[in-house]
C-alpha cells in the first residue's frame, strides 16, 4: 500500500461527492492547497476541479477525489480532512500534525513543513508490526 499525503473521513468523502454532483458534469473533485493569509499566517484553500493537474497528488475514498497542490504537500503530510456541521458553521476541517498554532477564530493556522525523517521512522516502525 502506498503512502497517502492526506486522508479523509467518510463524512468528508460524502461532502466531496455532493459538491461534485451539484457542480455539473465538468466537476471531477476538489483541490486542497495552502496560501499565505489570515492572522496566523496560512489558510487552507479548497477549489473545484474540472481539469486535474498532473502534478497534483490524488487521494480517493469511496469515489470522492481530492487533489493536493504540490506546494502544499509538505504542509499536509499526515493530515486528516473531515467535514463538520455545527450550529454556527459547516465546512471542511483539517487535523494536521504540522500545525503549530491557530488564530482565535480558527480560520487561519501556522504550519511547519513535515519532518520527513520522523515520518520515515514511523513507517518503518509500522512495517515491523
**DSSP secondary structure of 74-103:** HHHTTEEEEEEE-SS-EEEEEE-TTEEEE-
Q: According to the model, what pLDDT value does residue 106 have?
A: 62
Q: Is the pTM of this model over 0.75?
A: yes
Residues 59-111: tens digit of each pLDDT: 999 999 999 999 999 999 999 999 999 998 899 999 988 877 777 666 777 77
Distances (CA, A) of 37 to 27, 42, 110, 111, 118: 27, 5, 10, 12, 28
Residue 64 pairs with which residues in a beta bridge? 61
Per-residue model confidence (pLDDT) at position 48: 96
* pLDDT value, residue 51: 94
Amino acid at each position: 500500500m502506498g503512502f497517502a499525503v492526506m486522508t479523509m473521513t467518510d463524512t468528508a468523502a460524502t461532502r466531496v461527492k455532493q459538491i461534485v454532483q451539484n457542480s455539473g458534469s465538468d466537476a471531477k473533485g476538489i483541490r486542497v492547497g495552502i496560501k499565505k493569509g489570515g492572522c496566523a499566517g496560512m489558510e487552507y484553500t479548497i477549489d473545484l476541479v474540472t481539469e486535474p493537474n498532473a502534478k497534483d497528488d490524488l487521494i480517493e475514498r469511496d469515489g470522492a477525489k481530492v487533489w493536493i497542490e504540490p506546494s502544499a504537500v509538505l504542509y499536509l503530510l499526515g493530515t486528516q480532512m473531515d467535514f463538520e456541521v455545527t450550529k454556527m458553521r459547516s465546512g471542511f476541517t483539517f487535523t494536521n500534525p504540522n500545525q503549530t498554532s491557530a488564530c482565535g477564530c480558527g480560520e487561519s493556522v501556522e504550519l511547519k513543513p513535515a519532518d520527513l525523517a520522523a515520518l520515515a521512522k514511523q513507517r518503518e516502525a509500522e512495517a515491523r508490526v
